[in-house]
Amino acid sequence: MLYEFKLPDLGEGITEGEVVKWRVKDNDEVTEHQVVVEVETDKAIVEVPSPKKGKVVKLSAAEGETVKTGQTLLVIDIEGEAADEGAKKSFSVVGSLPMEEEVLATPMVRNLAKKLGIDLLDIKGTGPGGRTTEEDVRSAAQSVKKETTDRHGSIERVPIKGVRKAIAKNLLLSQKNSAFVTGMDDADITELWNLKAREKTGADKKGVHLTLMPFFVKAAVHALMKHPYLNSSVDEETEEIVIKRYYNIGVAVDTPDGLMVPVVKDADKKTIIALASEIHELGLKARERKLSIEELKGSTFTITNYGTIGGTYATPIINYPDVAILGMGRIKDEPWVKDNAIVVRKILHLSFTFDHRVADGSEAGRFLNDVISYLEDPGLLFIESA
C-alpha cells in the first residue's frame, strides 16, 4: 500500500506550517511514531511523527515550503495493506508518477528555490529525466536577480513567514482590537541593583543565572494584584472584561528568528530564584526554537526588556489578548535628587502600554507607581509575599 501522510491538525487554530527539517529521506525505513519532519507553525517548531511503519517513497514538500493542514507531507510504502485511494491518484503500484505540473527535484533543490524565490514550474530541468538541478535554480536566480528592481533602484523581496509572520499577524490583531495608550516614568533601582549583585554569588552556586528580570516579574505581579483589571482580557463577543485570577507572565525574548514570548505560569507562586531559573531556561529554548506550543500560550500580562539592547523609552504593543504590557528600558547612571542632594543613581526607564477600554489613565498611573515602589524598595516584594 502507498499511504499519503498528510499534515495533521496541530490544534490551536493552526492551519499551516513550514517544513523546517526532514528527519528522513527517500527509501528510508520508518517506524510508527518515529519523528519524520519538523514543522514550524506560527507558534513553535513541532516534531511530527509517522502514523505508519514502512518505506519512504516520496517527500512531497521541500524544506522551507509552507504546507496546509491536510496537505500531503510524504508517501510511505506499507507492505501487506490494500492500496490507499488517496495514494492511487498520484502513484502506481510500481512507483511514483508525477502529478500534473509536478516538478522533478530533490528536497535540497526545492529548498534552494524557495530561499531564492524561484518558481520551479518556470524552470526547464536539465538533469536526468528532466529533473531540475541546483545549477538550474542558481542560473534562474541570476536572471531573475537582474530584474529585481523598481524605478528607483535594486530591491530584494523577502517572504514574510515563520515567526515573523506570526508576529505580524498578532500585532495587527492587537492594533485592531485595542485602544492603546502608553505612559512613561523612571525608577531609582539602586537598592535593587545592589541586592542582585549581593545575591548573584549564592545564585551561581545553585546553578541559577540571576538577572533583574525575575524581580521585574515579581514587582509586576504584586502590582497586578492591586489592579486586577490590568490582568485581564476582553471577550469581544460578549463585551465582557475577563479578569484573570492567575498570573501568567509573558517574557519577550529576542531571537535570530524574531521576538518570541514564552510564558512563566503561576509567577505569583514562585520565588525569585525559581523565576530566574525558569526565565533563563525559557530564553534558551526560545533562541534554540525548542519551545512547545504550551509554553507560548496563556499569558495574562507581558514584560519586554528592550533596555538590554540599548532602548530607553518605547511604545510597546500589547501582546494580544492581554490588555497591558510593561517595557523596561536601559538602566543608566544618572544624577538624581535624594534627601535634598544630587547623587548618581541607577535609573530604570519604564514604558507602560494599556488598553484604554479596560482601564483609565489614573488606574494605569497608580499601577506604574506601585511597580516603581516595589523596584525602588525591593524589601516590599518579600514583606508582601504570601
Helix count (H) and strand count (E) of the chain? 9, 22
Q: Report d(CA 269, CA 249) in Å as an integer.
A: 12
The span from the CA of 46 to the CA of 296, in Å, is 13
3-class secondary structure, 61: coil
All three cell numbers of 97, joined, read 508518477
Residue owning grid cell 490507499: 84
Query: Quick check: 371 and 378 in contact, CB under 8 A?
Result: no
Work out the number of other CB atoms within 10 angstroms of the CB of residue 70. Answer: 11
To the query of whether residue 356 is one of the catalytic residues in this protein, the response is: yes
- Alpha-carbon span 55 to 53, nearest angstrom: 7
∠ CA 282-244-171, rounded to 5°: 60
Burial class of residue 34 in the structure, from the number of CB atoms within 10 Å of its CB (0-12 exposed, 13-18 middle, 19+ buried):
middle
Take residue 41 and report the three cell numbers written for it.
Answer: 507553525
From residue 31, how far is each of 55, 63, 81 by CA, in Å? 9, 22, 16
Choose the catalytic residue: 209, 227, 349, 356: 356
Q: Catalytic positions, please? A: 356
